[in-house]
A and B are shown apart, each in its own frame.
Chain A
Amino acid sequence: MKRDLILAGVGGQGLLALAAVIGEAARSLGLQVKQAEVHGMAQRGGVVQSHLRYADAPVHSPLVSEGCADLVLALEPMEALRYVPFLSPNGVVIANAAPFVNIPNYPEEEAIRAEIESLGRAHLIDAVDLAKEAGALQATNMVMLGAGSSSLGLGEETLIEAIRTFFAGKADSIIETNITAYRLGVEAIANR
């Protein structure tokens, strides 16, 4: 059992929370985990990415090598394309379909959609709509967790328990909203 993931997004989208939940799920199964993340200046609306690796054997480097990622899970479509060189030949791309436009030269949305769809094992998810349906726009990251869950090899119960652990101390309604968002993500990918 070994997974190399790239998580991609924009500062402020909840990428570190997404990474923390997956990392916690892997840890709770007794797997070895290494997860590199971005802190500091880039968190101000810039490019944010996380390399997340786990295995049932020692994991050495905190960085995923190019050509090795089993999954690029992206909270934003253009950010998904940024990490295509990291994909392994069988790697999967799952991206939130809603662009986060905070730059003047953001590419044509249709061009991004077309390029992602041309990758083969790639899925665009209307995660923002599903997060709103779950009850909070901020739960978009948990929708994407659900959408990516079948590629993670961690099991649904483990992931839901990790969501509970991550949000421990928050109101029950917040935890339930995030779990609902997760389930909507699972359904969205299953229905494709």
Chain B
Amino acid sequence: MPQLLLGNEALARGAIDAGLSAAYAYPGTPSTEITEYLVKSPEAARGDIVCRWTANEKTALEAAIGASYAGVRAMASMKHVGLNVAADPFVNAAIAGANGGLVITAADDPSMHSSQNEQDSRLFTDIALMPCIEPADQQEAYQAPAVAFELSEKHRIPVLLRMTTRLCHSRATIELGERRDRNALSLPEDPRRYILLPVIARGSYEHLIEQQPALIAASESSPFTEYIEGADTSLGIIACGLAYSHLIEVLDPSSEHPILKIGQYPLPEHLVEQLVNTCERILVIEEGYPYVEGKLRGFPLRSEPVVHGRLSGHLPRTGELNPQLVADAIGASHPTAGTASTLPAPRPPALCPGCPHIDTSKLLKEVLSDYPETGKVFSDIGCYTLGALPPYRVIDTCVEMGASITMAKGASRAGLHPAVALIGDSTFTHSGMTGLLDCVNENANVTVVIVDNLTTAMTGGQPSAADTRLVSICKGLGIDPDHLHVIEPLPKNHQENMATLKAEIDHDGPSVIISQRECIQTARRRKKAKPADGGAA
């Protein structure tokens, strides 16, 4: 009987069945459920898989590279912007190569459902010269890890597995396959390959370039690539990943247009050439950036053949695809939409009732109201970012993980006062600690508020890497203990907490206030986990 699994769960199950030994990740929507599935699996409980949430995506990928070095199959998972954090090991791992199969899973978020951008992870493969697999549906997401590990071990190169939100977060009935044994430990045949001194790296880079034709050939014969012949060559369609599922949904069964389904990169060049040479017009349907379309258009003055897609305006330049958009692009008919009601009001996400961030947001708002012009709160990525919305409107920036502390420092050194940084416990250990060290070394006049809810809340309550060590971490980084406070954000403590915050804003130098109270969601789950107490999930 098939199982009903999320795309992310199918991928995780596929990785286990492909002989996965090591999995590392930092949570981030839409990638989180991959590692949630692995962490909860019986294989992890038995110790067959080493599976850990790590401090950030860079440390996750580096641990996976180390596992691959030791000969086992390893995977690091992250959201698309996490790949920015892990870009250094990503690009250099392609040069060092893989020993045990090494897969990096990046989940892109077109339409920015839970992200600050919609960058397309496929572009990173052009920098790294790394192959990429992009499943078209959940069944392929299940099969993809096995194919990716084989590709990785055959060519001794890491492989990117690209997912997108709708595939990550939709369920489908999946047929499971056989389970492959895990690899035994084995060391790289060339013991110096992982020493990327220039003298070695130059040769490795040449080798990586020489591998490209073989990787293109692998894309052409990939189980995720398919060339469907057709007599109507007025239009040839290229559909990548999930876009292929939308295409098949809306395509007239009698359609005779040739179709190239792409599920593996580098581009299957000969198949693309065959389509381009056969058809008068090419339409490229892809989730994310116009990556394939851009490659096909080449120099903009070239007129033949005509390439259409997101750049030409036949599909929207931004946002995720859906069946209607694809139907319009291929000229297929589809039902007309009903008239929209004008009544529904937007319902933005909000902090949960009882959330500790509500008290910290109120605290900041009241203290900063004494500095209406210059008082700025440099915030970060997490639930507390919702303090940007009414009724709080308390934060002034949110750019990327860890930017709060370092932006506050830069603004303070430029003359702005007060400069307050607001950062969560998990974001602090992800990439805030090094910035705090900079603040100490420059004696920057920054007040850092670490909202410590003892978990990674926004992504569903994964463990926080700080555990309960934030005070000792801040002391160790050099924060003066006289300017390091732990407060409890509760209404009854409001006046006392205001006094603490005001005093530290007045202090000329770096200070840290840890505003500590457990996330209301994890607290509820923890209580619920003990006795069963009724009700639907």
**B-binding residues in A (CB < 8 A):** 10-12, 14, 16-17, 23-24, 27-28, 30-47, 51, 59-63, 65-68, 78-79, 81-82, 84-88, 102-107, 111-112, 115, 135-142, 166-167, 170-171, 173-174, 177-178, 181
Residues in A whose Cβ lies below 8 Å from that of B351? 44
Residues in A whose Cβ lies below 8 Å from that of B138? 34
Q: Quick one: which of B64-104 are within 8 Å of A by CB? A: none
Q: A11 to B340, Cβ gap below 8 A?
A: no
Nearest CB in chain B to that of A177: its residue: B534
Nearest CB in chain A to that of B79: its residue: A40
Q: B534 to A62, Cβ gap below 8 A?
A: no
CB of A82, distance to nearest CB on chain B (Å):
4
12 further contact pairs, Cβ within 8 A, besides A28-B1, A65-B327, A103-B347: A27-B2, A36-B169, A44-B350, A59-B172, A61-B250, A65-B250, A66-B337, A67-B337, A107-B343, A115-B341, A141-B536, A173-B532
| A145 to B246 CA separation, bound complex (whole angstroms) | 28
Q: B335 to A88, Cβ gap below 8 A?
A: yes
Q: A61 to B249, Cβ gap below 8 A?
A: yes
Q: Provide a sorted-by-A list of 6 A–B residue pairs whose CB atoms are within 8 angstroms.
A: A44-B383, A51-B170, A103-B346, A136-B535, A139-B535, A174-B534
Residues in A whose Cβ lies below 8 Å from that of B532? 170-171, 173-174
Q: A65 to B170, Cβ gap below 8 A?
A: no
Residues in A whose Cβ lies below 8 Å from that of B323? 61, 63, 65
Q: Which of A34, A68, A78 contacts B344 (CB 8 A)?
A: A78
Q: A43 to B335, Cβ gap below 8 A?
A: no
Number of interface residues of B (CB under 8 A): 57
CB of B386, distance to nearest CB on chain A (Å):
7
The verdict on B32 contacting chain A, using a C-beta distance below 8 Å, is: yes
On whether A106 and B345 interact (CB within 8 A), knowing A39-B30, A141-B536, the answer reads yes
Q: A33 to B172, Cβ gap below 8 A?
A: yes
The verdict on B301 contacting chain A, using a C-beta distance below 8 Å, is: no
The verdict on B336 contacting chain A, using a C-beta distance below 8 Å, is: yes
Q: A62 to B347, Cβ gap below 8 A?
A: no
| A173 to B32 CA separation, bound complex (whole angstroms) | 32
On whether A60 and B169 interact (CB within 8 A), knowing A24-B4, A45-B349, the answer reads no
Residues in A whose Cβ lies below 8 Å from that of B4? 23-24, 27, 33, 35
Closest 10 CB pairs of A and B: A138-B535, A67-B335, A40-B29, A40-B114, A66-B337, A62-B170, A46-B349, A61-B249, A36-B170, A85-B337
Q: A136 to B383, Cβ gap below 8 A?
A: no
Nearest CB in chain B to that of A23: its residue: B4
On whether A40 and B458 interact (CB within 8 A), knowing A35-B170, A78-B345, A84-B338, the answer reads yes
| A174 to B531 CA separation, bound complex (whole angstroms) | 12
The verdict on B468 contacting chain A, using a C-beta distance below 8 Å, is: no
Q: A81 to B341, Cβ gap below 8 A?
A: yes
Nearest CB in chain B to that of A82: its residue: B344
Q: Which of A59, A88, A107 contacts B345 (CB 8 A)?
A: A107
The verdict on B113 contacting chain A, using a C-beta distance below 8 Å, is: yes
Best-surrounded residue of B169, B350, B536 (most CB of chain A within 10 A): B536
Q: A39 to B347, Cβ gap below 8 A?
A: no
| A168 to B459 CA separation, bound complex (whole angstroms) | 25
Q: Quick one: which of B32-73 are within 8 Å of A by CB? A: 32-33
Residues in B whose Cβ lies below 8 Å from that of A37? 169-171
The verdict on B537 contacting chain A, using a C-beta distance below 8 Å, is: yes
Best-surrounded residue of B3, B337, B460 (most CB of chain A within 10 A): B337
| A131 to B250 CA separation, bound complex (whole angstroms) | 40
Residues in B whose Cβ lies below 8 Å from that of A112? 343
Q: Which of B137, B169, B337, B347 contacts A46 (CB 8 A)?
A: B347
Q: B386 to A44, Cβ gap below 8 A?
A: yes
| A140 to B341 CA separation, bound complex (whole angstroms) | 25
The verdict on B295 contacting chain A, using a C-beta distance below 8 Å, is: no
Nearest CB in chain A to that of B383: its residue: A44
Q: Which of A32, A42, A174 contacts B173 (CB 8 A)?
A: A32
Nearest CB in chain A to that of B137: its residue: A60
